Amino acid sequence: MVLTHDIYLRLLSLSSTSTNMGIPSFSFSMHLVLLSILTSLSLTSEAAQYRYHFCSDQTTFSPNSTYQSNLNNLLSFLNANSTRETDFYNTTVGQIQTPENTAYGLFLCRGDLSTNECQDCVSTATKEIVQLYCPEEKEAVIWYDECMLRYSNRSFFSIMEDEPSKTLWNLLDITEPDRFLQLTLGDLVPVAANASSGAKKFATKETKFAESETLYNLVQCTPDLSSFDCRRCLWEAITNLSNSYGRKRGGRVLYPSCNIRYEVFSFYHMQAQAVAAPPKGKGKISTAIAIVIAVTIAAAVVLVILLYCFRRRKASKKSNSINEVTSGISDGILNYHAASEVTTLESLQFDFGTIEAATNKFSDDNMIGEGGFGKVYKGVLHEGKEVAVKRFSMKSSQGLEEFKNEVILIAKLQHKNLVRLLGCGIEREEKLLVYEFMPNKSLDIFIFDPRRRSQLDWKTFYNIISGIAKGLLYLHEDSRLKIIHRDLKPSNVLLDHDMVAKISDFGMARIFCENQNIANTKRVVGTYGYMAPEYAMAGVFSVKSDVFSFGVMLLEIISGKRNSGFYLTEHAQTLLAYAWRLWCEDRVLEVVDNFLMESCWTSEIVRCIHIGLLCVQENPQDRPTMSNVVVLLGSESIALPKPKHPAFSVDKFIQIDKFSVNEASISSVVPR
């Protein structure tokens, strides 16, 4: 029944119009009965139920090329191996000497399917993906109800990936949507934990929602993932589902590495519990055997009770730590129920011993950075994954506030230009954050160190500038939350192995409501030299505050000089004042670092300086939005408005909290 869902919708349409024709309309229970019957038919269907596909247009292959030959062989191997009694298979076709022509691929069948059902779906997928959807792309993924098939010219095995992704919804609404969502999330979280700890990486659960309704949940990862990466993938999918919840009776999230789904009908095969009957003539057992069984059961019960008490005591300690962290989260961080935030923390939790072992007990040899709130260490998890661990100072109350902000906030954000939070560790006074490791450290190292700066050309710096702009645009406009970073500076921009810029350190960030554009605070936080004047002077901040910080960074990248401390030179009081004077005198190229002039287009770098000056204008209303900045950076044909004078200095303020060693990170400022 390929068109099961279409048939159901047509019958629904018929039932909705039957009243107008004088025919009694279907009752709600009849809808459920009809849906159940059609669903049961679809479960036994031989045809795979297509849901979504993605083809990357970044790389394509030519007809009759080596890659096409390898891909055809790959799909043939996948199809042939779908007859094995397994739900998952991956393989590679090609030679190491020619990696651009090597094809990597896998299939994943739903964990409840029979071998024949899996084979039918994989057979359909291997044909349709190249014939109907992705005829010339080297990288593709296709999802059906029963299976998923994926291939690429790069190795993706054992790597957790959540892009491309797709969220799909049932067309029908649910009654009591808030209670239903709470029940759904309450089921999905433990089911995800069960799946991640199992070899098959697959789990289901059924729960009564109403007298005549049952909630069915299913989660699954590709079995090549580690337990940690599977849990992380499923949690991101659950968070995605929660954030975009549309009050529907069913929904699913499709990732390359995992998928989740919930419905109020059974969309998978229920696993019957087999009860073995005693063999004939063997109904009685001896007294000795009965005693042995009784003693064994008693010992097992005692052991379970002791283990339960131990775990409860340990969980209580963890819970107290979590409650301490989640209590008092300020300035709009608690946009969701407190229980949801606690669940977020619990799902991201690392065992403290695991982090301690990964960092060699926080050895000084592993320390890669130090800030106002603590130290950062490089760590290697037991499966070989490199991570960065921020260990917050036990003595800093502001460190605790930053921890609260960051662990709740950044866990909800996903963008290639934002650093990814992998988890956290909470034990007694210890507060730890675990991030993806950035081998090239932070941007300030490459801007202000002449030796390292000479390693990069203008194109690399331009890509970094564009990456920062896109990350800020996501925070301001494209994410489900409007977020003001408030401490954007080069040391808070990290660089991965490909020199892709990733904004980090959200400890001072604040969430705005959907229609909110501006806010005021008595507690000004940030870093001298990057703070917008209206924020430093009056505590007023908005997206335009981050735009100002971006403009300062852009001018620092181009000049190789810090805005703060520029008064030590003979040129001007600040870098902004110096750039503005040269602009007005039509000598703006003098602000450019000599090394960059060797690798840049003059018109392109002048345009970037122009954009930087637009961003640092004194009046916030004159500054462009980040969406405008991204457009202006990507097009040379759009005319730029004339910049007005920038905010030259905020030296009317003194700091009343301590500075960090290298940068003046302040927690509060007051007028002289």
Question: Average pLDDT for residues 296-316, to the nearest whole number?
Answer: 55
- Chosen domain end from 416, 436, 456: 436
- Shared domain check, 429 and 410: yes
Please name the residues in contact with 335: beta carbons below 8 A apart, sequence gap of 6 or more. 481, 511
Query: What is the per-residue pLDDT for 122?
Result: 96
- Shared domain check, 74 and 8: no
Please name the residues in contact with 416: beta carbons below 8 A apart, sequence gap of 6 or more. 500, 502
- Chosen domain end from 374, 402, 436: 436
What are 371-377's contacts with CB under 8 Å, separation 24+? 371/491, 371/505, 371/660, 371/665, 372/396, 372/398, 372/658, 372/660, 372/665, 373/398, 373/399, 373/402, 373/403, 373/507, 374/399
- Collapsed DSSP state (helix, strand, coil) of residue 148: strand
649/332 Cα distance (integer angstroms): 31
Band (pLDDT 50/70/90 cuts) for residue 250 is very high
Q: Which run of H or E residues covers position 447?
A: helix 443-448
Query: What is the per-residue pLDDT for 438?
Result: 92
| Preceding peptide of 177 cis, ω within 30° | no
Within-domain flag for 22? yes
Band (pLDDT 50/70/90 cuts) for residue 288 is low
- Shared domain check, 614 and 531: yes
CATH number, domain with residue 408: 3.30.200.20
Band (pLDDT 50/70/90 cuts) for residue 430 is confident
- In tens, the pLDDT along 146-167 reads 999 999 999 899 999 999 999 9
Contact (CB, 8 A) for 542 and 549: no
DSSP-derived pairing of the beta strands 374-380 and 386-392: antiparallel
Question: Average pLDDT for residues 378-397, to the nearest whole number?
Answer: 81
Band (pLDDT 50/70/90 cuts) for residue 658 is very low
Give yes or no for residue 651 having a pLDDT over 50: no
Pick the more confident residue, 173 or 19: 173
Within-domain flag for 236? no
Band (pLDDT 50/70/90 cuts) for residue 42 is very low
238/253 Cα distance (integer angstroms): 8
Question: Average pLDDT for residues 278-293, to the nearest whole number?
Answer: 52
The β-bridge partners of 206 are 216
83/105 Cα distance (integer angstroms): 16
Number of folded domains that form the chain: 4
- Shared domain check, 364 and 451: no
Tell me which residues are annotated as active site: 487
Give yes or no for residue 242 having a pLDDT over 80: yes
- Shared domain check, 37 and 63: no
- Shared domain check, 558 and 466: yes
List the end-to-end C-alpha distance of the chain, in Å, as a whole number: 77
Alpha helices, DSSP H only, in 19-154? 28-43, 66-81, 115-128
Within-domain flag for 169? no
Q: Which residue has the tokens 């007028």?
A: 671
Question: Average pLDDT for residues 432-460, to the nearest whole number?
Answer: 90
Give yes or no for residue 503 having a pLDDT over 80: yes
How many angstroms from the chain centroid is the CA of residue 155? Answer: 21
Query: What is the per-residue pLDDT for 291?
Result: 64
Give yes or no for residue 29 having a pLDDT over 60: no
For residue 332, give Cα distances in angstroms to 399, 488, 618.
Answer: 18, 20, 28
Domain that holds residue 32: 1-45
Within-domain flag for 538? yes
Please name the residues in contact with 474: beta carbons below 8 A apart, sequence gap of 6 or more. 413, 415, 417, 418
Within-domain flag for 198? no
- Shared domain check, 487 and 577: yes
Pick the more confident residue, 1 or 219: 219
Query: What is the per-residue pLDDT for 405?
Result: 66
- Chosen domain end from 381, 403, 436: 436
Which among 623, 398, 650, 391 is positioned nearest to 525, based on CA atoms?
A: 398
- Shared domain check, 530 and 638: yes
CATH number, domain with residue 79: 3.30.430.20
User: Annotated binding residue at 390?
Assistant: yes
CB atoms inside a 10 Å sphere around CB 307: 10
- Shared domain check, 35 and 66: no
Band (pLDDT 50/70/90 cuts) for residue 303 is low
DSSP state of 207: E
- In tens, the pLDDT along 56-73 reads 888 899 999 999 999 999
Radius of gyration of the chain (CA): 29
Query: What is the per-residue pLDDT for 470?
Result: 94
- Shared domain check, 609 and 505: yes
For residue 153, give Cα distances in angstroms to 54, 140, 147, 233, 617.
Answer: 15, 10, 21, 23, 47
Band (pLDDT 50/70/90 cuts) for residue 236 is confident
Mean pLDDT, the chain, rounded, equals: 78
Give yes or no for residue 342 having a pLDDT over 90: no
Band (pLDDT 50/70/90 cuts) for residue 349 is confident
- Shared domain check, 85 and 12: no
Contact (CB, 8 A) for 510 and 479: no
Question: Average pLDDT for residues 494-499, to the nearest whole number?
Answer: 92
Count Cβ atoms within 10 A of the Cβ of residue 262 and give its class: 0-12 exposed, 13-18 middle, 19 or more buried: buried
Question: Average pLDDT for residues 6-12, to the nearest whole number?
Answer: 42
For the chain, percent of residues with pLDDT exceeding 90: 40
Pick the more confident residue, 45 or 116: 116
Query: What is the per-residue pLDDT for 413?
Result: 76
Alpha helices, DSSP H only, in 282-438? 287-326, 338-347, 352-358, 397-409
Give yes or no for residue 277 having a pLDDT over 90: no
Within-domain flag for 320? no
Question: Average pLDDT for residues 238-266, to the nearest whole number?
Answer: 91
- Shared domain check, 590 and 522: yes
Query: What is the per-residue pLDDT for 348?
Result: 64
- In tens, the pLDDT along 521-573 reads 767 777 878 999 988 888 888 999 999 999 999 999 999 998 876 655 556 67
- Backbone φ/ψ region at 595: left (φ over 0), alpha (ψ -120 to 50), beta: alpha
Query: What is the per-residue pLDDT for 134?
Result: 94
Within-domain flag for 120? yes
Query: What is the per-residue pLDDT for 341?
Result: 46
